Chains A and B, each alone.
Chain A
Amino acid sequence: MSRTAPAGADRAPVLALREVNKSFGSVRALRGVHLDLYAGETHALAGENGAGKSTLIKILAGVHTPDGGTVLLDGSPAVFHGPAAARDAGIAVIYQEPTLFGDLSIAENIFMGRQPRRFMGRIDHTAVREATAALMDRLGVDLHPDRAARGLSIADQQIVEIAKALSFDARVLIMDEPTAALTGSETARLFAVVEALRAEGAAVLFISHRLGEIFELCTRVTTLRDGRLVASESLAGLTEDDLVRRMVGRELGELYPKQETRTGEVALTVHRLTREGVFRDISFEVHKGEIVALAGLVGAGRSEVAQAVFGVDRPDAGEVRVAGKALRPGSPTAAMGAGLALVPEDRRQRGLVMEASIERNIGLTGLGSLGRGGLVRRAAERARAGDWGLKLRLKYDRLSDSVSVLSGGNQQKVVLAKWLATRPTVLIVDEPTRGIDVGTKAEVHRLLTSLAAEGLAILMVSSDLPEVLGMADRVLVMHEGRLVSEIPRDRADEETVMAAATGRAHQPAAPAGQLQPQPPEVPHPPGRPPGPQQSPGSQQPPEPGRPPGSQQPPGPEGSPGPKGGAA
Chain B
Amino acid sequence: MSTTAPPRTATRSEPEPTGRTAAETVLRVREYSIGGALVLLILVTWLANPSFLDQQGIKDLLLNSSILVLLATGQSVVVLTRNIDLSVGSVVGLTAFACGSFVSGTDHGPVALVLLGIALGAGCGLVSGALVSFGRVPALVVTLGMLYVIQGVDHAWAHGEQINAATVPDDILTLGSGSFLGIPYLPLISALVLAGTGYFLRTYRSGRELYAIGSNPEAARLAGIPIRRRVLTAYAFSGAVAGFAGALWLARFGTVVADAANGWELTVVSAVVVGGVAITGGVGTVWGAALGALLLTTIGSALVVLKVSSFWEQAITGALLLAAISTDRVVRSRSTRALRKRRRQ
In chain A between 39 and 94, which residues have their CB closer than 8 angstroms to a CB of chain B?
61-63, 82-85, 87, 93
CB–CB A277/B11 < 8 A: no
Tell me whether B182 is interfacial, beta carbon within 8 Å.
no
CB–CB B11/A117 < 8 A: no
CB–CB B4/A565 < 8 A: yes
CB–CB B223/A83 < 8 A: yes
A121 vs B5: C-alpha distance in the bound complex, in angstroms?
Answer: 26
CB–CB B22/A151 < 8 A: yes
A105 vs B278: C-alpha distance in the bound complex, in angstroms?
Answer: 16
Q: Which of A84, A112, A125, A147 has the most CB of B within 10 A?
A: A112
CB–CB B336/A151 < 8 A: yes
Tell me whether A552 is interfacial, beta carbon within 8 Å.
yes
Q: Which residues of A contact B222 (CB under 8 A)?
A: 61, 63, 83, 93, 95, 99
Q: Which residues of B contact A549 (CB under 8 A)?
A: 9-12, 14
Q: Which residues of A contact B16 (CB under 8 A)?
A: 142-144, 147, 547
A85 to chain B, nearest CB (A): 7
Tell me whether A484 is interfacial, beta carbon within 8 Å.
no
B20 to chain A, nearest CB (A): 8
In chain A between 120 and 164, which residues have their CB closer than 8 angstroms to a CB of chain B?
121-123, 125, 131, 134-135, 137-138, 140, 142-144, 146-148, 150-151
Query: By the criterion of a CB under 8 Å from any partner CB, how many residues of chain B are at the interface?
Result: 50
CB–CB A103/B282 < 8 A: yes
Known A112-B209, A544-B344; contact A137-B216, beta-carbon cutoff 8 A: no
A140 vs B214: C-alpha distance in the bound complex, in angstroms?
Answer: 31
Tell me whether B303 is interfacial, beta carbon within 8 Å.
no
Tell me whether B159 is interfacial, beta carbon within 8 Å.
no
Of the stretches B69-77, B149-157, B200-208, B247-255, the one at the interface is B200-208
Tell me whether A503 is interfacial, beta carbon within 8 Å.
no
CB–CB B23/A103 < 8 A: yes
CB–CB A101/B219 < 8 A: yes
Known A83-B222, A100-B216, A142-B16; contact A550-B11, beta-carbon cutoff 8 A: yes
B282 to chain A, nearest CB (A): 4
A105 vs B27: C-alpha distance in the bound complex, in angstroms?
Answer: 14
Q: Which residues of B contact A105 (CB under 8 A)?
A: 21
Of the stretches A263-271, A520-528, A556-564, the one at the interface is A556-564
| Of A99, A125, A150, A550, the contact of B22 (CB 8 Å cutoff) | A150
CB-based A-B contact count at 8 angstroms: 150
* Chain A: CB-nearest residue to B21: A148
Known A82-B224, A104-B212, A557-B9; contact A277-B3, beta-carbon cutoff 8 A: no
Chain B interface mostly helix, strand, loop or mixed? helix
Q: Which residues of B contact A104 (CB under 8 A)?
A: 208, 211-212, 215, 282
A480 vs B340: C-alpha distance in the bound complex, in angstroms?
Answer: 12
Tell me whether A481 is interfacial, beta carbon within 8 Å.
yes
Tell me whether B17 is interfacial, beta carbon within 8 Å.
yes
CB–CB A131/B225 < 8 A: no
A169 vs B3: C-alpha distance in the bound complex, in angstroms?
Answer: 10
| Of B10, B208, B337, the contact of A123 (CB 8 Å cutoff) | B208
| Of A115, A277, A299, A557, the contact of B341 (CB 8 Å cutoff) | A277
A149 to chain B, nearest CB (A): 8
Q: Which residues of B contact A544 (CB under 8 A)?
A: 343-344
Q: Which residues of A contact B23 (CB under 8 A)?
A: 102-103, 148, 150
Known A100-B216, A277-B340, A550-B11; contact A113-B209, beta-carbon cutoff 8 A: yes
A204 to chain B, nearest CB (A): 19
Q: Which residues of A contact B340 (CB under 8 A)?
A: 277-278
Q: Which residues of A contact B10 (CB under 8 A)?
A: 549
CB–CB A148/B24 < 8 A: yes
Q: Which residues of B contact A565 (CB under 8 A)?
A: 2-4
A185 vs B26: C-alpha distance in the bound complex, in angstroms?
Answer: 34
Tell me whether B315 is interfacial, beta carbon within 8 Å.
no
Tell me whether A345 is interfacial, beta carbon within 8 Å.
no
Mask, B1-37, CB within 8 Å of A = 1, is 1111110111110101111111110000000000000
A428 to chain B, nearest CB (A): 22
Q: Which residues of B contact A548 (CB under 8 A)?
A: 11
| Of A113, A134, A550, the contact of B3 (CB 8 Å cutoff) | A134
CB–CB A147/B9 < 8 A: no
Mask, B101-124, CB within 8 Å of A = 1, is 000000000000000000000000
Tell me whether A195 is interfacial, beta carbon within 8 Å.
no
Q: Which residues of A contact B337 (CB under 8 A)?
A: 277
CB–CB B215/A123 < 8 A: no
B302 to chain A, nearest CB (A): 34
Tell me whether A545 is interfacial, beta carbon within 8 Å.
yes
In chain B between 193 and 234, which residues have their CB closer than 8 angstroms to a CB of chain A?
202-205, 208-209, 211-212, 214-216, 218-225
CB–CB B344/A480 < 8 A: yes
Known A148-B23, A548-B11; contact A563-B205, beta-carbon cutoff 8 A: no
19 contacts between A and B (CB under 8 A): A63-B222, A82-B224, A83-B221, A84-B224, A102-B282, A103-B214, A103-B278, A104-B282, A123-B205, A125-B203, A137-B8, A140-B9, A144-B16, A146-B19, A146-B20, A148-B24, A151-B22, A167-B1, A565-B2
Closest 8 CB pairs of A and B: A84-B224, A549-B11, A148-B21, A99-B219, A144-B16, A103-B282, A545-B343, A101-B215
Given contacts A83-B223, A150-B21, 6 further A-B contacts (CB under 8 A): A63-B222, A101-B216, A122-B204, A148-B21, A550-B11, A552-B11
Contact surface of A with B, Cβ cutoff 8 Å:
61-63, 82-85, 87, 93, 95, 99-105, 108, 112-113, 115, 117, 121-123, 125, 131, 134-135, 137-138, 140, 142-144, 146-148, 150-151, 167, 169, 277-278, 299, 480-481, 544-545, 547-550, 552, 557-558, 561, 563-565
Contact surface of B with A, Cβ cutoff 8 Å:
1-6, 8-12, 14, 16-24, 202-205, 208-209, 211-212, 214-216, 218-225, 278, 282-283, 336-337, 339-341, 343-344
